[in-house]
Structure 1
């Protein structure tokens, strides 16, 4: 942010709207660091552009020093949708450079913004840093079926995790577009059909088959292509309906579902002196799963130099 002539007046006006002491925050800025037991949790403000200014970059380098294990919380994920977004810092360098520096002892970087869950266990010079996307707690669901076959940062499909599963995501969007375009019979895919066509397009074994495997037909292939289902790097769809940015702008305000399953999720971290246990719980809206939320992904991060183990 660059200072402007009327910033002071706007700030005074905002303070008048929150005049009571109980309404006033003491946090000095939109970025922060909290020491919680053996961990230091560091939150940064990447703004609308997904970058850091020079002042915040200098602060991040300062609070990242020292032997205490650290977790970064960022609005813009560093790994997302099979891509690496290191987050530039004004004046040079990136946020991911700081996270990867072995002198800073980061064990995880958790980003929001995208309304689903993804995890990339990236090997950095013999140690594993867990790069997590966890923005699936509210509003509409961002598609996971558009994520191509993962091969980035030495992370492959075998290591990658996401929720909802790509097949569930494709089935959800097929119902959504079938309803909106009044072409239910053409667009709607069952979970089994969606899972089968995703496996074919990515060249991977089906995940969590809902019953008997479904046959992949010309219709299921066409629907998957129209809805932007991910594929192998050598195959791309020439045409697809809006399921990401344009969908977010046009349809998202009225597309939040109020009928289970919701495909929401929440992240829980349990910390001891020896390890961090990271779990992604599904929030489906079904009573049984509300009482006992299912764990969709789990990984244990040792606060030592040994590698983490996960599901």
Structure 2
């Protein structure tokens, strides 16, 4: 729990006002928006079509690894730092971390004012996955990266997400690594290879002058400048080594990056992993395959490597799983993808079995997630009297179906039949029961994914989030802050979760 809960502003665990359900004044983030803001919506066929490489990579093979090898060779020829590592001399430092940022609409800009408040004094920022939606195009960086974070005074590093790869990572490499290379995929082989050859979305041209002008205009101060070694990298300090990996489109790490990961993970120094794909999410273990054998999580769990935390983006909410590693460590597995894009529902997360439910944390709370979705579906289907649930009604329905103690306690009776029915329709599972593994993808995941991607909104409460990480020689402190979009929370963003990890 956050120390601020006892002395500072309310958060979603203490009151509905702390969750942002009752905004007293509008947020100032609207003043930061460009003059013309194109409403971003995953309900638009054009947006889905621009993201088609995800489906093609899943069906016909992910070319990310082959493209990455080509890019890494080019970076090494240019003289990239040894082991793709940035060295910092200070043993005590702080950084901000947020994932899945770049839709360029109100939900992204709503994160900026509270981020600047809570991240004041940090030494750098990390974006974990999906810097630019929907397809990583270079020409969208001015309004979806440079402009939103123009007032953040320190360098920004990033690990790419699957959407950044839909242009072959060309925009990402140009902005973060100052590299422009051939990002075309290798030829597909097989009887149906004509399909990806025909449909694959190739990267567009990069306007270097336009990007340079955007950088000078919005993030041109000397203290904001940085060039990261590559799409994967390490930041080494006397107290902690931060390792960022590139998981491509489908989440597989190539052999070369796998060797590098094992090399930079060696030794007793405490380490923190930043990845585009979380290793634990939605109550499931997704260990991350490495080409040639092994998994990312095997590297993290190895006692010789001394990892203390693994933070991933991709899923657009906050989750934390403290898992005992068997050698005395407790590794904090964190999902931190709430930095601006549409919110993935938390009410669809089953009662957890990978950790005890009472130590699992998520934001938004499952009841708030269900209440927000019920209002959206009530409006879309023009059935508000049937679908809409208050936060209290939704919390009661989640408690009934999952058999858990809610994060925000209400002294309410059993939920009505209508509330239970709406909870079932909108995907709240029953207890900890799971479908057989062979049925999970078509029956459970895809409908939930559709529910989340189609359920985007641009008015408070947004339920976005970001992290502040403070490091000393003896401890690492992670705090999750909420970005509701309410003016009341911009100067004092609610702290939703906190964990302190010993480093000695």
Task: Bin the TM-score by the shorter chain.
Answer: 0.7 to 0.9
How far, CA to CA, are the matches of 2:66 and 2:445 in structure 1?
A: 39
How far, CA to CA, are the matches of 1:174 and 1:192 in structure 2?
A: 13
Q: Which residue of 1 aligns with 2:450?
A: 246
How far, CA to CA, are the matches of 1:112 and 1:25 in structure 2?
A: 22
For the pair 1:18 / 2:217, whether they are aligned, the reply is no
Q: Which residue of 2 aligns with 1:309?
A: none
Distance 1:121 1:219, change over 3 A: same
Is residue 427–residue 448 contact of structure 2 (8 Å, CA) maintained in 1?
A: no
Deviation at residue 156 of structure 1 after TM alignment: 1.2
Distance 1:194 1:9, change over 3 A: closer
Q: Which residue of 1 aligns with 2:486?
A: 286
How far, CA to CA, are the matches of 2:357 and 2:319 in structure 1?
A: 12
Is residue 343–residue 452 contact of structure 2 (8 Å, CA) maintained in 1?
A: no
Residue 142 of structure 1 aligns to a residue whose secondary structure is: coil
Deviation at residue 9 of structure 1 after TM alignment: 7.2
Is residue 116–residue 141 contact of structure 1 (8 Å, CA) maintained in 2?
A: yes
For the pair 1:216 / 2:418, whether they are aligned, the reply is no
Q: Which runs of 5+ in 1 are unaligned?
A: 305-311
For the pair 1:46 / 2:218, whether they are aligned, the reply is no
Of 264, 268, 274, 2:474 maps to 274
Of 217, 228, 233, 1:32 maps to 233
Deviation at residue 10 of structure 1 after TM alignment: 3.1
Distance 1:201 1:9, change over 3 A: closer
How far, CA to CA, are the matches of 2:472 and 2:372 in structure 1?
A: 38
Residue 201 of structure 1 aligns to a residue whose secondary structure is: helix
Is residue 252–residue 289 contact of structure 2 (8 Å, CA) maintained in 1?
A: yes
| Equivalent residues in 2 for 1:1-311, closer than 5 Å | 1-2=65-66, 10=182, 17-18=207-208, 26-125=227-326, 126-152=328-354, 155-209=355-409, 212-234=411-433, 244-248=448-452, 251-252=454-455, 255=456, 257-304=457-504
Deviation at residue 26 of structure 1 after TM alignment: 4.6
Structure of higher RCO (CA pairs closer than 8 Å, 6+ residues apart): 2
Is residue 227–residue 242 contact of structure 1 (8 Å, CA) maintained in 2?
A: no
Residue 129 of structure 1 aligns to a residue whose secondary structure is: strand
Distance 1:241 1:156, change over 3 A: closer
Deviation at residue 293 of structure 1 after TM alignment: 0.9
Distance 1:161 1:21, change over 3 A: closer
Is residue 193–residue 216 contact of structure 1 (8 Å, CA) maintained in 2?
A: yes
Task: Give per-residue Cα distances to partners, 1:156-189, cap 9 Å, x unaligned.
Answer: 1011000000000000000011111111100000
Higher strand content, 1 or 2: 1
Task: Give per-residue Cα distances to partners, 1:174-214, cap 9 Å, x unaligned.
Answer: 001111111110000000011011111111223213x5425
Residue 273 of structure 2 aligns to a residue whose secondary structure is: strand
Task: Give per-residue Cα distances to partners, 1:58-81, cap 9 Å, x unaligned.
Answer: 000000011211000000000000
How far, CA to CA, are the matches of 2:407 and 2:268 in structure 1?
A: 39
Superposed CA RMSD: 2.9
Q: Which runs of 5+ in 2 are unaligned?
A: 1-64, 71-167, 169-179, 185-202, 216-224, 436-442
Q: TM-score, normalised by structure 2?
A: 0.54
Residue 68 of structure 1 aligns to a residue whose secondary structure is: coil
Distance 1:62 1:290, change over 3 A: same
Higher helix content, 1 or 2: 2
Is residue 87–residue 95 contact of structure 1 (8 Å, CA) maintained in 2?
A: yes
How far, CA to CA, are the matches of 2:287 and 2:374 in structure 1?
A: 33
Question: Matched residue pairs, number?
Answer: 295
Residue 276 of structure 1 aligns to a residue whose secondary structure is: strand
Is residue 57–residue 89 contact of structure 1 (8 Å, CA) maintained in 2?
A: yes
Is residue 402–residue 432 contact of structure 2 (8 Å, CA) maintained in 1?
A: no
How far, CA to CA, are the matches of 1:137 and 1:229 in structure 2?
A: 24
Distance 1:196 1:10, change over 3 A: same
**Which range moves more in the overlay, 226-235 or 137-146?**
226-235
